[in-house]
Structure 1
Amino acid sequence: MSQHHGADGDDEYGLFVDGAFRSGTSGDRIDVTFPYDGSVWATVPRGTAADVDQAVAAARDAFEGEWGTFGGSERRRVLDQIADVIEAHTDELAELETRQNGKLIREMRGQMESLGEWYRYYGGLAEDLGGRSIPVENKAETGGMTVHTREEPLGVVGAITPWNSPLMLTTWKLAPALAAGNTFVHKPSEETPVSALRFAELVAERTDLPDGVYNVVPGYGPEAGEALVDHDDVDKLAFTGSSTVGREIAKVAGEQLIPVTLELGGKSPNIVFESANLENAVNGVIKGIFAATGQTCVAGSRVFVHETIHDEFVDAFTDRASEISLGNPLDPDTQMGPIAFPEQWETVASYVDRGAEEGATVAFGGDRPNDLPGECFIEPTILVDVDNDMTVAQEEIFGPVASVIPFADEAEVIDLANDTDYGLAAGVWTEDMRQANRLVERIEAGMVWVNEYRAVSHKVPFGGYKDSGLGRENGREALEEYLQTKSVWYDQSGEVSDPFSLG
């Protein structure tokens, strides 16, 4: 089955398995909607366990077949080709992303423009993969032994990605997995499957990646997702999503005794000290919570502000929030788009209500605008009079809701910042670099930005502490998540070993 326009004008896609589109075994399909107005614009198959079986079998065949013969230089060439494909189709892929999840076209285009760097970076690492020689003293008097290590792929990777930045979060897994020599079965979110299917089609058409190396099975988590996680022929799991689901996947990985990378939730503190450049800090806080409509795992949703500047900060923050332009995310002038789907809107709205019930005050926003289409818009929302133990300050909302909390000194804000189950990211706004260094050392988070927020790079590890996950994406550290080490011993002594001794 190939992509085509159905009779109703919608784009129809198939599963992408073994280098080609094919129909799903169930015959059922999932609608894909544009969050701006709720219109259905595409459909995809509702993947089943049988579909996952076919995809895993194709990935296994590719791993044991042609892809397994590709050396590091050949893998680099293919990864460079994938980068070329993304760069040639930036506008198309960016529009697909926005039409799926309602994020700003300016952000999605920026992501697509940068993704080629990931494939080129990991292609370079693929070419440099190798082990190391280890001197040992065994049998040294008779010529000794030599030892070296090999870095080898794990096999078939099963990956599940969320709806908020689909192709970027896929790339963070796929690029290092391919560089290491693995094959890949991908279950994208049922809300945002189209960009992955189109990407797979482009890669198959325009690169030398062998069939079966990258497979895409859309579907629901309890069906296709669970089948992939439970599959006994998958050698590694990679997941981005909620901490609740991440725990369940970790349990299965433990039972299967396979490695797992989990990039999970966050409730990140964004800390503003009295020495901060106020305008810069307000911009950074907006970037941390209202950009991407708050639908990012690193959202700076807890805004801690020193008590001496608290009121001034809140005034400036609400003034800026009132100027944010909501609208069609495909319009380059729009500054904040809709929530990705109605159920998530209900979740976000319920948290705002819960905050008010627990004593918080809505300083700005919190309502659905009445001049925009669809069901998924909510105003940028600022809550004050928030205590750190309130639900809105402890649970991940995944929407444009900021809780502003005053603090008196460094010791207090460090305790408050760390008083959470999560530990993904943090921001520190101060002109005192000694103070910044003290905070960086003591904050329990995998990433800390100083006078910046939401910066990422293909070279820099990304991941969290505590309930925010296991393992790291990006950087050399991500490649190591997709490799296993083999130690090889050579006895060059020529002597007969004592069968009852070690070494």
Structure 2
Amino acid sequence: MTLRPTDSSALLIDGKLVPGSGGTFEVLNPATEEVLGSAAEATAADMDAAIAAARLAFDQGTWSRDHAFRARCLRQLCDALQSHIEELREVTIAEVGAPAMLTSGPQLEGPVEDLRYWADLAENYSWEHDLGSATPMGIPTARRVLKEAVGVVGAITPWNFPHQINFAKLGPALAAGNTVVLKPAPDTPWCAALVGKVIAEETEIPAGVVNIVTSTDHALGAQLCTDPRVDLVSFTGSTATGRTVMASAADSLKKVFLELGGKSAFIVLDDADLASACSVAAFSVCVHAGQGCALTTRLLVPRARYDEAVAATAATMSGIRAGDPSKPGTVCGPLISARQRERVEGYLKLAVEEGGTIVTGGGRPADRDRGFFVEPTLIAGVDNSARVAQEEIFGPVLVILPHDGDEDAVRIANDSPYGLSGSVWGTDPERVNRVVAGVRTGTLSVNGGVWYSADAPFGGYKQSGIGREMGVAGFEEYLETKLVASPATA
């Protein structure tokens, strides 16, 4: 089988590739603003059918009980996707605007390979353990604890890292024995729809176990949240939408997992190599045009060296050009849409209104008359109370802030509604560890350490979310716990 863009104009419902009842909608290339093609436009009726298929597959099939079969199917899916990796790479660069360099990592190849981790976990996880005997109320009793799939999972995913986030939900949910209805973002439907075609035609995954519903209608996501046949909603996106998801799911008291926004701090202590640390901070916020919830977008530097830090950071950022994501050397590609570019540009205007200075960048690249590009931008001269320091911008924009020592740096880092990620740079291990212990965030990188991995739990504190994705902790989000008590035998 060869994957082509025309293959992505179908929904996957109950094991069949079907057209959307609402026709199709256009898919744009964010680097050129050209129409790439079309995707299937689902309606509420299509979503209803997908939920019904998932419910039936869970309730009447053997998927949730056959751990070895699930593992085999996940490995089949991994192998099949690997055989189409170059076709998927081309689609990902065109549809997402993802720099080609990232597709060998978290934008494509990494998440696909992670399916093997989930397959191994399905086979090796301790699905049952003996709690031992006891005599509650004088009755000799043997107890055992079972881990079982939650049921039907509604997965709602964003556009910035579609493969990574789609598979971070599909992988553990399926490995745990659940059935899934996936609603991907309307900006990047092809990445999900092409996976649906592979599932339908190249794996033994039973009908109804995976359903993929593409649509521009956000009400279909709300439908997943409110339908009582759905047992768990796993959502990744903005904090504002996360609140709506949580409220919508409340009526049926379904489990909710949320991976939301961030405004993460990059803390440079006064014993660190300032120039190196600032260069890393500048580079990282430009990757994929800053469209990553866990990117560090606040740079905290010693006040006594603030001007030096601003100069070093600006030097790196000014050398990074927003450009064609298909080119091997591109780090900063386009923003996903005109709407997102307008949002980022609104924050740049706000920064000046708040008394800040645009040190470098601040506009559209002069050499790009098409595409949703914004120059890598450094904002100085504001404090942590400024909106550009408090709110998630989701563009290649870094705010640099002064701190007055380790405790002050921790205070500023924590002075945020978010707590998703962060970074600490310093040479004294004891000082670094005290800062790490003080920062209220779900992941932290120390001196450039990489926390991203299939077996490493990811998630946030405060308004950055509820629960964890990836690793055993992420897998267990999709499980229920059952205690079985029986008469103890002599």
TM-score range relative to shorter protein: over 0.9
Other-structure match for 1:199:
195
Other-structure match for 2:131:
134
Displacement, 1:258?
1.0
Q: Is the contact made by 1:459 and 1:476 (CA closer than 8 Å) also made in structure 2?
A: yes
- Cα distance 1:403–1:397, how it changes in 2: closer, same or farther (>3 A)? same
Displacement, 1:454?
6.1
Give per-residue Cα distances to partners, 1:310-361, cap 9 Å, x unaligned: 2222212111112113221011122211111000000000000000001000
Displacement, 1:414?
1.1
CA distance in 2 between partners of 1:185 and 1:122 (Å): 18
Q: Is the contact made by 1:25 and 1:51 (CA closer than 8 Å) also made in structure 2?
A: yes
CA distance in 2 between partners of 1:404 and 1:427 (Å): 14
CA distance in 1 between partners of 2:334 and 2:150 (Å): 39
Other-structure match for 1:500:
none
Partner SS state of residue 433, structure 2: helix
Q: Is the contact made by 2:225 and 2:233 (CA closer than 8 Å) also made in structure 1?
A: yes
Give per-residue Cα distances to partners, 1:154-208, cap 9 Å, x unaligned: 1110000000000100111111101110011011000001010001111222221
CA distance in 2 between partners of 1:347 and 1:247 (Å): 20
What is the identity percentage for the equivalent residue pairs of Structure 1 and Structure 2?
38
1:182 aligns with 2:178: yes
Displacement, 1:11?
6.7
Within a 5 Å distance, the mapping from 1:22-37 to structure 2 comes to 22-27=18-23, 29-37=24-32
Give per-residue Cα distances to partners, 1:95-133, cap 9 Å, x unaligned: 222211212011123222222442111211111231211
CA distance in 1 between partners of 2:62 and 2:160 (Å): 31
Give per-residue Cα distances to partners, 1:188-240, cap 9 Å, x unaligned: 00000101000111122222111211111111353221122221210100000
CA distance in 1 between partners of 2:212 and 2:62 (Å): 17
Partner SS state of residue 290, structure 1: helix
- The letter for the 2-side match of 1:155 is G
Other-structure match for 1:497:
none
Other-structure match for 1:87:
82
Other-structure match for 1:19:
15
Displacement, 1:288?
3.0
CA distance in 1 between partners of 2:462 and 2:226 (Å): 24
Within a 5 Å distance, the mapping from 1:207-246 to structure 2 comes to 207-220=203-216, 222-246=218-242
2:318 equivalent among 312, 319, 322: 322
Partner SS state of residue 338, structure 1: coil
1:46 equivalent among 27, 30, 41: 41
Larger Rg: 1
CA distance in 1 between partners of 2:478 and 2:153 (Å): 8
Displacement, 1:253?
2.2
Q: Is the contact made by 2:25 and 2:216 (CA closer than 8 Å) also made in structure 1?
A: no
- The letter for the 2-side match of 1:291 is V
- The letter for the 1-side match of 2:168 is W
Give per-residue Cα distances to partners, 1:356-391, cap 9 Å, x unaligned: 001000000011112114241110000110110001
Within a 5 Å distance, the mapping from 1:16-415 to structure 2 comes to 16-27=12-23, 29-68=24-63, 70-111=65-106, 112-129=108-125, 130-138=127-135, 144-220=140-216, 222-415=218-411
1:425 aligns with 2:421: yes
Q: Is the contact made by 1:460 and 1:474 (CA closer than 8 Å) also made in structure 2?
A: yes
- The letter for the 2-side match of 1:47 is A
CA distance in 2 between partners of 1:434 and 1:175 (Å): 38
Partner SS state of residue 251, structure 2: helix
The aligned length equals 487
Partner SS state of residue 173, structure 1: helix
- The letter for the 2-side match of 1:356 is V
- The letter for the 1-side match of 2:242 is G
Q: After superposing the two structures, state which structure 1 stretch, 332-341 or 280-289, moved more.
A: 280-289
- Cα distance 1:12–1:484, how it changes in 2: closer, same or farther (>3 A)? closer
Q: After superposing the two structures, state which structure 1 stretch, 117-126 or 277-286, moved more.
A: 277-286
- The letter for the 1-side match of 2:49 is Q
Q: If the length of structure 2 is used for normalisation, what is the TM-score?
A: 0.95
Partner SS state of residue 270, structure 2: coil
Partner SS state of residue 441, structure 1: helix
CA distance in 2 between partners of 1:315 and 1:377 (Å): 24
CA distance in 1 between partners of 2:257 and 2:434 (Å): 30
Displacement, 1:4?
7.2
Other-structure match for 1:483:
479
Displacement, 1:46?
2.3
CA distance in 2 between partners of 1:364 and 1:156 (Å): 48
- Cα distance 1:358–1:15, how it changes in 2: closer, same or farther (>3 A)? same
Other-structure match for 1:501:
none
Partner SS state of residue 136, structure 1: strand
Partner SS state of residue 21, structure 1: strand
Other-structure match for 2:441:
445
Partner SS state of residue 399, structure 1: coil
Displacement, 1:272?
1.1
Partner SS state of residue 383, structure 2: coil
CA distance in 1 between partners of 2:436 and 2:273 (Å): 19
Q: Is the contact made by 1:13 and 1:21 (CA closer than 8 Å) also made in structure 2?
A: no
Within a 5 Å distance, the mapping from 1:456-467 to structure 2 comes to 456-467=452-463
Q: Which runs of 5+ in 2 are unaligned?
A: none
Other-structure match for 1:498:
none
Partner SS state of residue 296, structure 2: coil
- Cα distance 1:375–1:224, how it changes in 2: closer, same or farther (>3 A)? same
CA distance in 2 between partners of 1:24 and 1:141 (Å): 61
- The letter for the 2-side match of 1:40 is V
Other-structure match for 1:499:
none
Q: Is the contact made by 1:186 and 1:215 (CA closer than 8 Å) also made in structure 2?
A: yes
- The letter for the 2-side match of 1:135 is G
- The letter for the 2-side match of 1:136 is S
Displacement, 1:75?
1.2
Q: Which runs of 5+ in 1 are unaligned?
A: 495-503
CA distance in 1 between partners of 2:312 and 2:88 (Å): 36
Q: If the length of structure 1 is used for normalisation, what is the TM-score?
A: 0.93
